[in-house]
């Protein structure tokens, strides 16, 4: 068995969505002074590799703590979308995977964009789903849709149609995945566990693929 970590490290200078406060860490106790080490940290719920709940944009939407833990694991289909010149992931990119998606819990979209993590370019022109592609995915019985980019919607989108389509269908969204290029199979067992925070509209998460 091989486990591939699909998560970005969290530290005070990681990229965050424009307008989001970056995380902060304070060493509050040390082994030298207190006999034990402890720190406090503060970060937005949509920091680094993270999961969006319906409550992220839907009034009265379901929060992450209301999902059973089994909802965060399942068979994932790795959808290759490495060459998207106009940045739009359409139904055409999904069509080769339709039969596999029928049996899957997650659609994980590999765009290769995580190679720009830490650069200004990460926020510019990244591949995102079209509403049509989101509607197509919502037609499957998926638990979640993941992508190795900052958002499933374009950076200049204010109405967030893809978020609405997926979250209104009860499909969780995982953003800022990493290391998808290390997966050499079209289907893997996928686990993405958010923190169990009461009322969470989202949460940083540790995502892995099990080969």
Which residue bears the tokens 């830490």? 118
In the three-class reduction of DSSP (H, G, I as helix; E, B as strand; rest coil), residue 152 is classed as coil
Q: For the stretch 42-69, what's the b/e string if a residue is b when 16 or more beta carbons lie within 10 angstroms of its beta carbon?
A: ebbbbbbbbbbbbbbbeeebebbeebee
Contact 47, 162 (CB under 8 A): no
Is 206:49 a contact under the CB 8 Å cutoff?
Answer: yes
Residue 179 annotated among the catalytic residues of the structure: no
Residue among 56, 93, 110, 163 flagged as catalytic = 56
Measure Cα distances from 37 to 13, 26, 43, 193 in Å.
22, 11, 20, 25
Cα–Cα distance for residue pair 175/150, rounded to 1 Å: 6
Catalytic residues: 56
């Amino acid at each position: 068995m091989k486990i591939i970590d699909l998560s970005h490290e969290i530290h005070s200078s990681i990229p965050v969505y424009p307008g989001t406060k970056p995380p902060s860490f304070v060493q509050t106790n040390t082994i030298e002074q207190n006999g034990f080490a402890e720190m406090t940290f503060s970060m937005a719920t949509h920091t680094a590799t993270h999961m969006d709940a319906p409550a992220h944009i839907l009034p009265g939407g379901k929060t992450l703590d209301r999902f059973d833990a089994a909802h965060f694991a399942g068979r994932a289909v790795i959808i290759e979308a490495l060459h998207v010149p106009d940045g739009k992931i359409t139904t055409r990119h999904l069509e080769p995977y339709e039969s596999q998606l029928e049996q899957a819990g997650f659609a994980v979209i590999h765009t290769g964009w995580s190679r720009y993590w830490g650069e200004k370019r990460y926020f510019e022109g990244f591949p995102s789903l079209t509403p049509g592609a989101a509607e197509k995915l919502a037609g499957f019985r998926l638990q979640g849709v993941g992508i190795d980019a900052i958002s499933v919607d374009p950076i200049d989108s204010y109405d967030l149609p893809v978020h609405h389509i997926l979250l209104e269908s009860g499909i969780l969204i995982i953003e800022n995945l990493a290391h998808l290029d290390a997966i050499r199979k079209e289907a893997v067992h996928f686990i993405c566990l958010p923190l169990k925070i009461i009322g969470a509209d989202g949460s940083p998460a540790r995502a892995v693929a099990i080969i």
